[in-house]
Amino acid sequence: QDYIQEAIRWDKDASGIVTLTFDMAGQSANTMNTVFRSAYAAAVDRIAAELDSITGVILSSAKKTFFAGGDLNSLLAVGPDEKAALYERSQAMKAVLRRLETLGRPVVAAINGTALGGGFELCLACHARFALDDARLALGLPESGLGLLPGGGGVVRLVRMLGLEAAMPLLIDGSTFDPARAQALKLVDGVAADADGLMALARQWIAANPAPVQPWDGKGWRLPGATATAPASLTYLRTAPVLLMKKTRGRYPAPMAIMSAAVEGAVVDFDTATRIESRHFVGLATGAVAKNLITTFFFQMNEVKSGKGRPAGVPASTFGRVGILGAGLMGSGIAQVCAARGIAAVLKDATAEQARKGLERVAANLDKRVAKGTLAAAKRDAQLARITPTGDAADLAGCELIVEAVFENRPLKAQVTREAEPLLAPGGIFASNTSTLPISGLAEASERPENFVGLHFFSPVDRMPLVEVIKGRKTSAETLARALDFVQQIGKTPIVVNDARGFFTSRVFGMFTKEGAAMLAEGVPAEVIENAALAVGMPVGPLAVMDETSMALAMSMRRQTAADLAAEGQPLPQHPAWAVIERMVDGLKRPGRAGGGGFYDYPADGPKRLWPGLAAEYGKPGVDVPMEDLQDRLLYAQAVESIRAMQEGVVETARDANIGSILGIGFPRWTGGTMQFVNMVGARAFAQRAMELAQKYGERFEPPRLLLDKAERNERFV
């Protein structure tokens, strides 16, 4: 066998076609690292040297994925002082791609696996692309989602292939596509049913195009669609940055850089455009946001998917039949996500009638998707057929998992646990979806508390990606492992949380909403508070959230907590927010949206607006809290609480805190999550700022012991 540096197999057939098969030794996937870059350069050298006997080149892969993309490990390590080196490295790789596409021989990508990012850029640098018609394959340039841009010529080539207006959304959204969709978008030229058909397509194209040039290298070529300076583009280009700014709140540099690289690159020649692209790429890759996004959404997310944090030695389990107690908002949602993944769901409520209402709720939900065209009617029918509504507990017999989602009421939960547990299949597990009640206490109703676990879903269940898996005091490692397997099976992302008041996400999010109320008590105008939250990238303001979740409910949970803590002989933690909440509920009778109004009014005939009475009630003329403090407080309150939760062992890894905070409560993605935010600021600087905020605004910002330890040792949270 003929290998180029153990990375690329070289095969030349009798007709002079060279097939370069990417097959990097010692790696499960092909990546754009030093080894590959030099191997590819060597392969192109050899093609140039043997050009007289070569009629064409086909790119293929021996791995399951065609090409996994850039080497994110090395990108993560690039510091701000290495900009020049990174620029040179990018330019060198692009020069190799450019050389191959301008040698005068047809180069065709036979994409026989997923090709993303740098991997797809290799394909874009070919004269034609064909792909296996397999819906499991993903093609595209997802760099934007990791805070980067396609820096291997992807921006320049896609804009030249599709035109500015068509290419820009693909680049900015970073969406990926299966081959059929990619063909519709003209990202590939054709698809084939199998590997042989794919190679045949590539060979046919080569035979028909013996000396192709890229369209943009041809004479008289013009950018498809409107040019950057055409009147049609000007309208678009004037509004697009504004809309983008509104969407990203200036916190995500990648979409902006992509737009700049695309537009600037569209008005200059190819080589200049690639240099512009490299410059923007280097700026992004050496910035903090890309590092945060890569850390959390690539590395930590992959760790979760590959089962890190799952107890070792427990055989993997799959679930075929799941019981759900309570067919309300949550129970019906859980049934829906089970059915969508092929799991039979027994949906049990107090009566068959109520259970049927739960099924109708699922049906209505799926109907909307069918109407939108995102779900086939046949699939809807198949999913609904997997859900069995019932009022009879006996129907739960043989379930491998039963999830309880009845009213938040201890005696009721104990009763349904005692009733349903004996019906579990041998070795089955029982889960509670409680949002506030400690799991260890609920497990007391169980005959087998080692098989009892918390599965805390978020509303709406079908759209929220996170599930907190709560370990009770007696939950066994095997039960935890099986619960994690279930969450993965239904396509959600699990984090592991120890049993404690508010678990992880509610506890951290509570500090965000309460901080908003505390600001109001200081006299900060409500609209300033809400805007500060949006400006740092939170999806909604704290006052709006409190209205939605009901301050009356918050008060009653507070009373429950007070009683529980008193019974344990523990003090009730204080927070300046409570005075505001109490006054809103009891004094002003404005408990929130469901109660007719709260911080906002909800007129029947228009959008909500802040209640004008707030200024008279809380406004303090002349109060001046710096915007920077307001923004920092909203993030620091949550980050400090995360550290405290970690110190108490509620979460055990920065990974779980990061993923939980972003997917569960909307902590801004650009930070990489609560703990990555601390890492980004640096433990020392973070502790210092927290101390400052504690002095000015209250002891809730006091740096926890764990933070001070990290600061002293100059360590990161992992």
Q: To the nearest whole angstrom, how small is the minimum distance from the Cβ of residue 404 to ligand NAD?
A: 8
Q: To the nearest whole angstrom, how small is the minimum distance from the Cβ of residue 426 to ligand NAD?
A: 24
Could you tell me which of 203, 243, 208 has the C-alpha nearest to residue 13?
A: 203
Q: Among 85, 184, 329, 572, which residue interacts with ligand NAD (rule: CB under 6 A)?
A: 329
Q: Check if the beta carbon of residue 332 is closer than 8 Å to that of residue 355.
A: no
Q: To the nearest whole angstrom, how small is the minimum distance from the Cβ of residue 497 to ligand NAD?
A: 13
Scanning 33-41, 399-407, 489-497, 518-526 for contacts with ligand NAD by CB under 6 A, the matching segment is 399-407
Based on the shown chain and the rule CB under 6 A, indicate whether residue 208 belongs to the binding site for ligand NAD: no
- Which residues neighbour 230 within 8 Å (Cβ) at sequence distance 6 or greater? none
Q: Which residue, 70 or 592, is less far from ligand NAD as judged by CB?
A: 592
Based on the shown chain and the rule CB under 6 A, indicate whether residue 660 belongs to the binding site for ligand NAD: no
Based on the shown chain and the rule CB under 6 A, indicate whether residue 372 belongs to the binding site for ligand NAD: no
Q: Among 19, 183, 433, 638, which residue interacts with ligand NAD (rule: CB under 6 A)?
A: 433
456 catalytic? Reply is: yes
Based on the shown chain and the rule CB under 6 A, indicate whether residue 548 belongs to the binding site for ligand NAD: no
CA triplet 377, 381, 386: central angle to 5 degrees? 150
Q: Among 327, 402, 577, 675, which residue interacts with ligand NAD (rule: CB under 6 A)?
A: 327
Q: Among 87, 457, 599, 636, which residue interacts with ligand NAD (rule: CB under 6 A)?
A: 457
Could you tell me which of 273, 277, 304, 286 has the C-alpha nearest to residue 90?
A: 277
Q: Which residue, 191 or 406, is less far from ligand NAD as judged by CB?
A: 406
- Phi, psi (rounded to 5 degrees) for 3: -115, 145
**How far apart are the C-alpha atoms of 648 and 651, rounded to whole Å?**
8
Q: Check if the beta carbon of residue 468 is closer than 8 Å to that of residue 443.
A: no
Q: Environment class of residue 108 by beta-carbon count within 10 Å: exposed (0-12), middle (13-18) or buried (19+)?
A: buried
**How far apart are the C-alpha atoms of 588 and 130, rounded to whole Å?**
66
**How far apart are the C-alpha atoms of 619 and 589, rounded to whole Å?**
19
Catalytic residue among 127, 280, 456, 575: 456
**How far apart are the C-alpha atoms of 170 and 184, rounded to whole Å?**
13
Token pair 């009617």: residue: 377
**How far apart are the C-alpha atoms of 167 and 225, rounded to whole Å?**
10
Q: Which residue, 404 or 641, is less far from ligand NAD as judged by CB?
A: 404
Based on the shown chain and the rule CB under 6 A, indicate whether residue 326 belongs to the binding site for ligand NAD: yes
Q: To the nearest whole angstrom, how small is the minimum distance from the Cβ of residue 357 to ligand NAD?
A: 7
Could you tell me which of 97, 109, 2, 13 has the C-alpha nearest to residue 66?
A: 109
Scanning 242-250, 328-336, 481-489, 697-705 for contacts with ligand NAD by CB under 6 A, the matching segment is 328-336
Q: Among 19, 260, 383, 435, which residue interacts with ligand NAD (rule: CB under 6 A)?
A: 435
Based on the shown chain and the rule CB under 6 A, indicate whether residue 163 belongs to the binding site for ligand NAD: no
Scanning 86-94, 198-206, 320-328, 563-571 for contacts with ligand NAD by CB under 6 A, the matching segment is 320-328
Structural tokens at position 552: 């009356």
Write the single-letter amino acid at 580: V
Q: To the nearest whole angstrom, how small is the minimum distance from the Cβ of residue 332 to ligand NAD?
A: 8
Could you tell me which of 17, 161, 163, 40 has the C-alpha nearest to residue 98?
A: 40
Q: Which residue, 192 or 453, is less far from ligand NAD as judged by CB?
A: 453
Q: Among 280, 321, 348, 471, which residue interacts with ligand NAD (rule: CB under 6 A)?
A: 348
Q: To the nearest whole angstrom, how small is the minimum distance from the Cβ of residue 585 to ligand NAD?
A: 20
Q: Check if the beta carbon of residue 490 is closer than 8 Å to that of residue 338.
A: yes
Based on the shown chain and the rule CB under 6 A, indicate whether residue 468 belongs to the binding site for ligand NAD: no
CA distances from 611 to 183, 280, 417, 468, 607 (A): 52, 45, 44, 35, 12
- Cα 681 to its chain centre, rounded Å, is 22
Q: Among 165, 189, 303, 408, which residue interacts with ligand NAD (rule: CB under 6 A)?
A: 408
Could you tell me which of 352, 376, 354, 355 has the C-alpha nearest to residue 366?
A: 376
Q: Which residue, 435 or 658, is less far from ligand NAD as judged by CB?
A: 435
Token pair 């990174």: residue: 86
Based on the shown chain and the rule CB under 6 A, indicate whether residue 330 belongs to the binding site for ligand NAD: yes
Return the number of other C-beta atoms located less than 10 Å from residue 375's C-beta.
17
Write the single-letter amino acid at 109: A
Q: To the nearest whole angstrom, how small is the minimum distance from the Cβ of residue 464 to ligand NAD?
A: 9
Based on the shown chain and the rule CB under 6 A, indicate whether residue 336 belongs to the binding site for ligand NAD: no
Based on the shown chain and the rule CB under 6 A, indicate whether residue 354 belongs to the binding site for ligand NAD: yes
Residues across the chain = 718
Based on the shown chain and the rule CB under 6 A, indicate whether residue 352 belongs to the binding site for ligand NAD: no
Count residues contacting ligand NAD (CB under 6 A)?
Answer: 23
Token pair 């062992």: residue: 649
Structural tokens at position 131: 């792909």
Q: Among 290, 402, 405, 654, which residue interacts with ligand NAD (rule: CB under 6 A)?
A: 405
Q: Which residue, 301 or 464, is less far from ligand NAD as judged by CB?
A: 464
Based on the shown chain and the rule CB under 6 A, indicate whether residue 349 belongs to the binding site for ligand NAD: yes
Based on the shown chain and the rule CB under 6 A, indicate whether residue 434 belongs to the binding site for ligand NAD: yes
Based on the shown chain and the rule CB under 6 A, indicate whether residue 60 belongs to the binding site for ligand NAD: no
Based on the shown chain and the rule CB under 6 A, indicate whether residue 454 belongs to the binding site for ligand NAD: no
Q: Using the 8-state DSSP alphabet, how is residue 134 labeled? A: -
Q: Check if the beta carbon of residue 359 is closer than 8 Å to that of residue 347.
A: yes
Based on the shown chain and the rule CB under 6 A, indicate whether residue 547 belongs to the binding site for ligand NAD: no
Q: Using the 8-state DSSP alphabet, how is residue 491 labeled? A: T
Q: Which residue, 120 or 503, is less far from ligand NAD as judged by CB?
A: 503
Scanning 215-223, 292-300, 403-411, 630-638 for contacts with ligand NAD by CB under 6 A, the matching segment is 403-411
Q: Check if the beta carbon of residue 315 is closer than 8 Å to that of residue 337.
A: no
Q: Catalytic residue numbers? A: 456
- Binding residues vs ligand NAD (CB under 6 A): 325-331, 348-350, 354, 405-408, 412, 416, 433-435, 456-457, 459
